[in-house]
Amino acid sequence: MTSGQEISEGVFEYSVSEIGEITPDSVDIDLDIFPDLSRTRIHYWKSDWGSEWAPVVVSALETVEIFTSAGRSSKGFHPFVIVEDGEIAAIVAIAFSGNWKIGVSKTGQTLRVNGGLSSFNNEVPRNLKPSDFPKAYVSISTSGVHVASRQLTSAMRKISNRGPRKMKMEWNTWWPYEDVAIDQETFLRNAKVAASVGLDVAVMDAGWFGPSDKSTHWFNFRGDWGLVNSERFPEGIEVLAEKTRELGIEFGIWIEFEALGELAQLNIQEPSFMAQSISGDQIKDLGYICFGNPRARDYAFKSLAHLVEAYGVTWIKIDFNVDPGAGCQRVDHGHDEHDGLLRHINALYEGLDEFHSRFPGVIVEACSSGGLRWDLELSQHVDVGFPSDTDWPEHALSCFWASSQFFPAEQLLVWCDSQWLGDHVHQNFTVAELGDTDHLDFILAITLLGAFGLSQRLEDFSAKSQKKLARYCSLYVEHFRPRHQIGMSVAHLTNQPERELAGERQVAFALETPGFESIVMGFTLPGARGSKVLEYVSSHIKSTTRVRDLMKGEVSDVQVHEGKIIFEIGPIENQARILILEN
């Protein structure tokens, strides 16, 4: 990491098959770049359903060990660590969608980082090639966390083979209707509104498949993707897709193509597909199709391709609501008892790349009970990732603040304050109560930060609410989509907001894109005390800058000293500012 006293800056890539001092499934990295460990901090993030990206900060004098054993990369912790002292920063990431570990410990004046695959009962995969193992990335900067983050996200863009992002704006059925309240007419009524306000694609979430019974619960029949619920969709999905396109909007669909429900006929037809754990005489079904079995993998990806070939979808939401744990231990799938999960995940990556080669125009969204399987490697094989099932404004901003340190912003799907059919203490948005208020402006402004999506009852939007939504769609198309397609860097101007009125209550970002003016965005959450004055410094800002306030529709000239612009975030909760700095 260093050369004499000079710090080597940039992004460094490692394979965790490199032999470390502890196990052959890990890599050891010495960070001898921090002059005073007593003033150095280690940041990491806890994660569980609805509580992703919960920050933890400790002194570098403490030993940190984080890992996941659930078989999903973001169940328990997120696979990232930041070490910084206010000037020097190092970001460490394990790029793998299964079980991983990161440890940071002090050895003299050096921090040793050990990262790689986490193991069960000291058993690690065997007989694997170096290319079978995941990668680790380390981004180092002497100019702080923002530059280290910018280096990492830029490197991830260069690695990706998916080309410029399409950045389509989507509406999704899930939260206001789930599976029990959705049917053909409900979908089409909402799709008509979505088309009229300028959204690009209407996505049919779970509930479209299974036996023809309105009470059918999607979870039990995953795997039977050829079985359409004709009670809800009497004309079938092909006709639904055609009628959607006739409204002037594209059609998308949800699938959990790795999963296998306990009532699915596929269990009977193909008993060798199920992933299983084995302990002595005890055999347990794990609830997913093991891609280590080539026939099972082919079935799953044929199901995925069928959605495009039969229904003409342009957006596929791939979900994964399963904790594989150590993964499949069957030895009749082509893997041994210790590498089933690794083989499954690598086959998933390969299959997604093959799918993209066949259908480059289809957007693939990664979801896993919200954000419980989201990492740098999976992000290279899909277009966008879903950060969390819960998305009330405080949590949506918290997730974006943290995840945009590591992922390109254009890959972060941002929903905010979805309208829930079920109950959640914080998910209280209803169109009737809040649709015509400033609160709708606030949540739509948050949605502009990343890939634009929403999940509300559009059919209940008043004419006034529809006009507001159309305005934000236009703002996205004019100002945000072009920046995202080139690659936007996010500068974090405040600390992270946290759930339950904790953390920063007035949050600000600067969105920086080569060839475009910077955009500064500020958000006031409940619990703010007074106005907050912030500084944004950039070498690209001229001595006199014209500031365009997109929320107020006002333009003013501001004097700038040494590339520094000062702006204020007001004290009124659920208010947003969007400022374009026009040079």
Closest Cα to residue 473, out of 446, 448, 442, 440?
A: 448
Mind giving me the DSSP string for 30-97?
EE---S-GGG-EEEEEEE-TT--SEEEEEETTS-EEEE--SSSTTSEE-SEEEEESSS-EEEEEEE-S
In the predicted structure, residue 307 carries a pLDDT above the cut 50: yes
Q: Out of 126-135, 248-257, 391-400, 549-558, pick the least confident.
A: 126-135
- For residues 434 and 319, membership in a common domain is answered with yes
352-365 residue pLDDT tens: 999 999 999 999 99
* pLDDT for residue 164: 81
Class of residue 80 by CB neighbours under 10 A (exposed 0-12, middle 13-18, buried 19+): buried
Q: What average pLDDT does the segment 75-99 reach?
A: 97
- For residues 468 and 499, membership in a common domain is answered with no
- For residues 233 and 369, membership in a common domain is answered with yes
- For residues 253 and 387, membership in a common domain is answered with yes
* pLDDT for residue 127: 67
Asked if the structure places residue 333 within a domain, the reply is no
* pLDDT for residue 563: 76
* Three-class secondary structure of residue 348 per DSSP: helix
Q: Examine the fold and report which residue of 485, 511, 529 is the final residue of a domain before the chain moves on.
A: 485
Q: Examine the fold and report which residue of 459, 485, 511 is the final residue of a domain before the chain moves on.
A: 485
- For residues 14 and 149, membership in a common domain is answered with yes
Q: What is the 3-state secondary structure (H, E, C) of 259-305?
A: ECCCCCCHHHHCCCCEEEEEECCEEEEEEEECCCCHHHHHHHHHHHH
Class of residue 502 by CB neighbours under 10 A (exposed 0-12, middle 13-18, buried 19+): middle
> pLDDT band at 126, cuts 50/70/90?
low
Tell me the C-alpha distance between 268 and 278, whole Å: 20
Contact 517, 581 (CB under 8 A): yes
128-184 residue pLDDT tens: 777 778 899 999 999 999 999 999 999 999 998 777 889 999 999 999 999 989 999
- For residues 213 and 141, membership in a common domain is answered with no
Asked if the structure places residue 328 within a domain, the reply is no
Q: CATH code at 116?
A: 2.70.98.60
Q: Look up the domain containing 408 and give its range.
A: 170-261+294-323+359-485
DSSP state of 455: -
Q: CATH code at 419?
A: 3.20.20.70
- For residues 458 and 575, membership in a common domain is answered with no
Tell me the C-alpha distance between 513 and 174, whole Å: 33
- For residues 39 and 94, membership in a common domain is answered with yes
- For residues 467 and 370, membership in a common domain is answered with yes
Q: CATH code at 509?
A: 2.60.40.1180
* pLDDT for residue 25: 56
> Sign of torsion, CA 280 281 284 288?
positive
287-305 residue pLDDT tens: 999 999 999 999 999 999 9
Q: Examine the fold and report which residue of 485, 509, 525 is the final residue of a domain before the chain moves on.
A: 485
50-84 residue pLDDT tens: 999 999 999 999 999 999 999 999 999 999 999 99
Q: Out of 79-88, 117-126, 172-181, 399-408, pick the least confident.
A: 117-126
- For residues 91 and 122, membership in a common domain is answered with yes
If you average pLDDT over every residue of the chain, what do you get?
92
Distances (CA, A) of 431 to 40, 327, 417, 438, 458: 47, 43, 11, 12, 8
Q: Out of 91-95, 122-126, 412-416, 579-583, pick the least confident.
A: 122-126
Please give the tally of structural domains in the chain: 3
- For residues 479 and 510, membership in a common domain is answered with no
Asked if the structure places residue 349 within a domain, the reply is no
